[in-house]
Amino acid sequence: MTHLLTAQDMREIERSAMEDGIATGAELMERAGRRVVEALQAEWPDGGRTARRAIVLCGPGNNGGDGYVVARLLHGLGWSVSVHGMGATEELPPDARANRQAWEGIGSVVPLSGDLRIGQDRPDLVVDALFGTGLTRPVDGLGGLFRDIAECRALGCPRVVAVDLPSGLCSDSGRVIRAEGTEPAEAAIAADLTVTFHRPKLGHYLSEGPSFCSRLVAADIGLRPEATAGKGVPLAAARAAALAKNNASHKYDNGHALVLTGGSGRTGAARLAARGALRAGAGLVTVGVPASAQLEVAAQLTAIMLTRVDDGEELASVLEDTRLNALCLGPGLGRDRVRALVPVAVKAGRGTVLDADALTAFEDDPAALFADLHEGCILTPHMGEFSKLFPDLAAPLKAAPESGPATSRLDAARAAAARSGATVLLKGPDTVIASPGGAATIAASVYERAAPWLATAGTGDVLAGIITGLLARGFATLDAAASGAFLHAEAARGFGPGLVAEDLPEELPRVFRALGV
Ligand SMILES: NC(=O)C1=CN([C@@H]2O[C@H](COP(=O)(O)OP(=O)(O)OC[C@H]3O[C@@H](n4cnc5c(N)ncnc54)[C@H](O)[C@@H]3O)[C@@H](O)[C@H]2O)[C@@H](O)CC1
Ligand SMILES: [K+]
C-alpha cells in the first residue's frame, strides 16, 4: 500500500538514514539527480537525437543541489546545458554547494533573473530544481518567467521536468503558495513529468498537485522501506479478500441496508444509492418510502424491497428490526424529511451514511446534527456541502495560501471529523477520508487512475449507496468509506467515457472480477 508523506516525514527519514550510516546527504543527492535523468530518458526516449538543449533552474537549497547534479549528468550525456541559479555558492547548504562547485568546473551559473525568457533560447527541456519540500512562502519575482515557461510549454516545447515537486507547490497540501491576487500559473511551474524521491508526498495527490505534476514517478534513492513505517497517509485500495463473500453465508450474514427516499418525483437518487448498496454486496436492501411515492418506487424496483416510512415514528418502528444494520439518508431526501428522519436514524446507532440533503439541511445549526453522531456515522460532503457544515474549516481552503505548509483538504477533513464525531469523506478527484480519531486515507482518482466522467449528476448518490452496502456487510467505518470510494472510482474508470450514474452499480461486477474477488 502506498503511503503519502509530509515534508517533515521525509526530512526525518533522510535524517535517520544519515545518522544510521545508510547513506550520506551527498550520496542521496547524487542518486536523486541520477534518478531524475533516468526518468526523463525513460519518459522521452526520443531525447537521443542530436541538438539537445536544457535549461536547468536551481534554487537556494537542496532541491537546487539536485538540479546541479542533473546539469552535470545531462552534460555528461552530451546535452548542451545552461544553468541559472539562485543564491551565492557559499550560502548554499553543504551538499548543494559541493554540487554547484562541481558544475562550476564544467560551466557557468548565470544568476537567475525574473527577466529570463526561455522562448528566445528554445531549449528542449527545462529542469525545475528551484524549490522542493522546503518551500515556505510565495516564490518572489519570478512570475514573468513562470508565465513564459507555461506559454512555451503549451506550444509543445520545452518539456518541463520537476525535481521532487513543481516549484511553488506546497508539499503537504498540493496547493500553490501564492500572494492573494496572483494566479497559480504565475506562482508555480507546471511540469510534464515530476520525479520525486522514495515515496510520493501528500502534495502530489491533493488539490492542484496532480495538475501541476502531470506525470509522477517516485524513484528509489536507497532509503529503507522500514524507515517509512508508521509514517504517512495511505492511498485507498481495495482488498479482494475483504470483498469476497463466504460461500456458506446466508443473505442476512451480509447485512440489510435501508435507504430512505424523498417524496414523489424525488426518489431517483435514493434508488441509485440502493442499487449501489446491493451491487456492493449487501445481503438485502430496502428503500424506505413515504406513502406518496410508494407506487412510483414500486414500479421501479425488483431485487430491492420497499417499506413505508413517512415520519420519524414510522422509521423508529421499522428500525426495531435490528437486522437493518446500515442506513443511508440524504440522496433526494428533501429538507423536511431530513429534519424528521435523521435524528431518529442517528440515534438508532447503526452504520449510517449521511449525504446531500441530510447535510445541507443542518446548514443553520450544524451542532444539532453533530450532537448525536457516533463512530458508525459517515458524512460524505462535496466541497459545497462541506462549506455549509464547516464554514470556518472551509475558509482557509478558499483563500490563497500565503505560507507553507498550507492548510490541506486532509487537515480540513480531520478537523471536521474531530468536531462532528463522525468519519468525514470529502469528495473530489482527491477524496480525503478522516475518522474522529485522526486516522485517514486518500482515495485519489488522479494520474493513471483519473476518472473524469465521474463528475456527473447522481454519481455521489451511488457512492453513498456503495458505502452503505459495505457497512451492511460489516466493514469498519473508515474501511467502508475508503473501499467504497475506491470501488466507485474503479467502476467509473472501467466504464470509461459516456458514463452516467446508473452505469456505476452495473460496472461493479467487472471491478470485483478484475480485483480477483
Ligand atoms: N529529504 C531528502 O531525503 C532528500 C532531499 N533532497 C532534495 O532536497 C529538497 C529539500 O531541500 P531543502 O530543505 O533545502 O528545501 P528547498 O530546496 O525546497 O528550499 C530551499 C530553501 O529555500 C528557502 N525558501 C523557502 N521558500 C522560499 C521562497 N519562496 N523564496 C526563497 N527562498 C525560500 C527555505 O529556507 C528552504 O529551506 C527536496 O525537495 C529534494 O529535492 C534530495 O537531495 C534527496 C534526499
Ligand atoms: K522543483
Domains of the chain as residue ranges with CATH: 3-234 (3.40.50.10260), 247-515 (3.40.1190.20)
Could you give the 3-state DSSP secondary structure of residue 396? helix
Residue 47 has pLDDT above 80, yes or no: no
Candidate ranges 59-73, 230-244, 250-264, 298-312; pick with highest mean pLDDT: 59-73
Q: What is the ipTM of this complex?
A: 0.98
Q: What's the number of CA atoms in the CB half-sphere (13 Å) around residue 426?
A: 29
CA torsion sign for 318, 321, 327, 331 is negative
The protein residue with its alpha carbon nearest to ligand 1, atom 2, reads 14
Is residue 349 marked as binding?
Answer: no
Give the count of beta carbons closer than 10 Å to the beta carbon of residue 418: 15
Is residue 48 predicted with pLDDT exceeding 60?
Answer: no
| Ligand sitting nearest the alpha carbon of 64 | 1
What average pLDDT score do residues 274-302 get?
Answer: 95
Indicate which atom in ligand 1 lies nearest the CA of residue 133. Answer: 39
Strands (E), 415-454: 423-426, 430-434, 440-444
Q: Which ligand 1 atom is the nearest neighbour of the CA of 137? A: 29
pTM of the full structure: 0.97
Strand order in the sheet with 324-329: 305-308, 284-289, 256-260, 324-329, 351-354, 377-379, 423-426, 430-434, 440-444
What distance lies between CA 496 and its chain's CA centroid?
Answer: 20
Q: Which ligand is nearest to the CA of 16?
A: 1
Q: Where are the beta strands (DSSP E) in 348-449?
A: 351-354, 377-379, 423-426, 430-434, 440-444
Grouping H, G, I as helix, E, B as strand and the rest as coil, residue 164 is coil
Ligand 1 geometric centre to CA of 63 (Å): 5
Q: Is-contact 162 195, C-beta < 8 A?
A: yes
Atom of ligand 1 nearest to the CA of 130: 17
Taking the C-alpha atoms of residue 109 and residue 91, their distance in angstroms, rounded to an integer, is 14
d(CA 373, CA 403): 34
Per-residue pLDDT at 252: 79
Q: What is the pLDDT of residues 446-499, one digit of tens each?
A: 999 999 999 999 999 999 999 999 999 999 999 999 999 999 999 999 999 999
Radius of gyration of the CA atoms of the chain, in A: 26
Q: How many other CB atoms are found less than 10 A from the CB of residue 317?
A: 10
